Structures are given as C-alpha cells and as structure tokens.
Amino acid sequence: MKTLLEITTSIFSDSGQSSRLAKRFVAAWRQINPDGEVIVRDLTKEPVPHIDAGRFGALLAKPAERTPEQQAVVAYSDALVEELKRADIIVLGLPMYNFAVPSTLKAYFDHIARAGVTFRYTETGTAVGLLTGKKVYVFAARGGLYGGTASDSQTQYLRHFLSFLGLDDVEFVYAEGLAVSDTARQEGIARAEAQVDRLVQREAARMCECGCD
Ligand SMILES: Cc1cc2nc3c(=O)[nH]c(=O)nc-3n(C[C@H](O)[C@H](O)[C@H](O)COP(=O)(O)O)c2cc1C
C-alpha cells in the first residue's frame, strides 16, 4: 500500500488554484491506488507556528534534558516528520506570493529541517539528506509568467531545500499567467490540468509495469 502526503499552502485553502491542481492529481491517484493512504496537511487551516528561539532550543535540547514544554515542541515536529517519512509520494500545492513561497510553507520547512532526523552532516561537512526514495510533485500557481527564467525565485529554492533533505526526484507543473488576462488564466489552467492528467497516466503505466492485472 502506497502513502501520499498532500500539502497545500494556498491562503484560499481548497479553492486556491495550486490546491485545485494538487487535488486533481490526488483524486486521480486515489482511483489508481484504491488501497492507498492519503494524508492531508493544509497549512492554511492548520498553520505551523513560526520558529522562534524557544522552539529552536527545544529541537536542539538533549532528550533527557527537555522540559515538558520542549517535549511538546519536539513531539509536534516529530509528527510532521513522521508524515514525510511515511509518504512514498509528496504532492505540494505551491502558490507564488510576493515572489516567494507562502510563509506558512517556510514555517513548516523550519520544523522539518532537523539535523540528525531529516539530514545529517558527514565528517567532511557534507550534508546528506535522510528522506530518500520519495517522489515529489509540485503544483505551482502564479499570477505572472516566470517558468524557465531567472525571475523564477521559487523553483531553485524549493529544489535546493528538498534536495538538502534527500528529496531529489521533484517534478513541477506550472499554472502561470493567472492574473494576466482571462484568456491567459484559462489557457494557463488548461495547460497545467492537461499536464496533471499526463502525470497520472504515467503513474498508472508505472504501476502496471510493476504488476497490475
Ligand atoms: C498576497 C499575494 C501575493 C501575490 N504575489 C504574486 C507574485 O509575486 N507573483 C505572481 O506572479 N503572482 C502573485 N500573486 C498571484 C498568485 O500567485 C495567484 O493568484 C495564484 O493563483 C496563487 O495561488 P493559489 O490560487 O493557489 O492561492 C499573489 C497573490 C496574492 C494573494
């Protein structure tokens, strides 16, 4: 049985365009994985608190020395990490807000990047990600047009961060130009939806190669 972790970050929750694309993929994935497990993490409905000195200190404290408050902080972070570890596939809805990833996603990242848990340093100082063997699909929605240009401030950051945790197999689908005009919006969404559908077909074909009837 496969596990899919769906992370959405739109301020509009399920109605955000990035969430809709993510959910389109997840709905189709459920059809081809009827026994699969889907874990939903909506960072707008349940925001992760911003990291602060107290929370960071709790994550660094030795287990035997943690106060009850620190234990609660670590347990919360552990639960987020556990979802990631369980997932075979991670689906991320990614709006662009002011040229960056949503602040809710950054807060989430600050709780899951943990030395000795999701990455470690070798003796030579190289970082090694510990969340390996997973596929990540990113469904990005933007008002403007940035794909493939130096102005795309999200893609490189996200690839770098995910790779730091060992998540190297990352594929992006972009719905762009959503604020340019009605026509550009419709075309951008239609293109992205068609790409989502192709990804699902590919997933289905892969499953058959691995042994469907
Ligand atoms: C607060 C805010 C900031 C935005 N900043 C940008 C931006 O910097 N660049 C851009 O292309 N679109 C920007 N947009 C447009 C969004 O990227 C677009 O509406 C997209 O659909 C958001 O994804 P969502 O519908 O999943 O929330 C912004 C929208 C909002 C609400």
Predicted local confidence at residue 90, as pLDDT: 98
Query: Which residue has the CA at smallest separation from atom 17 of ligand 1?
Result: 142
Q: What's the CA-to-centroid distance between 80 and ligand 1, angstroms?
A: 26
Query: Which residue has the CA at smallest separation from atom 8 of ligand 1?
Result: 98
> Which of the listed residues 142, 153, 174 should we mutate to test ligand 1's pocket, taking the one with most ligand atoms within 8 A of CB?
142
Amino acid at 11: I
Q: What is the DSSP string of 123-191?
A: TTS-EEES--S-EEEEEEE-SS--TTSTT-TTHHHHHHHHHHTT--EEEEEEE--TTT-HHHHHHHHHH
Predicted local confidence at residue 209, as pLDDT: 78
Predicted local confidence at residue 119, as pLDDT: 98
Cα(122)–Cα(116) distance, integer angstroms: 11
Predicted local confidence at residue 213, as pLDDT: 53
Q: Residue 61 gets which letter from DSSP?
A: S
Helix axes 17-32, 182-209, angle to 10 degrees: 20
What residues flank ligand 1, with Cβ below 6 Å? 10-12, 16-19, 95-99, 141-144, 178-179
Predicted local confidence at residue 73, as pLDDT: 98
Residue indicated by tokens 């960071």: 56
Q: What's the CA-to-centroid distance between 45 and ligand 1, angstroms?
A: 18
Predicted local confidence at residue 211, as pLDDT: 67
Digit-coded pLDDT (tens) for 105-139:
999 999 999 999 999 999 999 999 999 999 999 99
Query: Which residue has the CA at smallest separation from atom 12 of ligand 1?
Result: 143
Cα(90)–Cα(113) distance, integer angstroms: 16
Sites in the chain below the pLDDT cut of 50: none
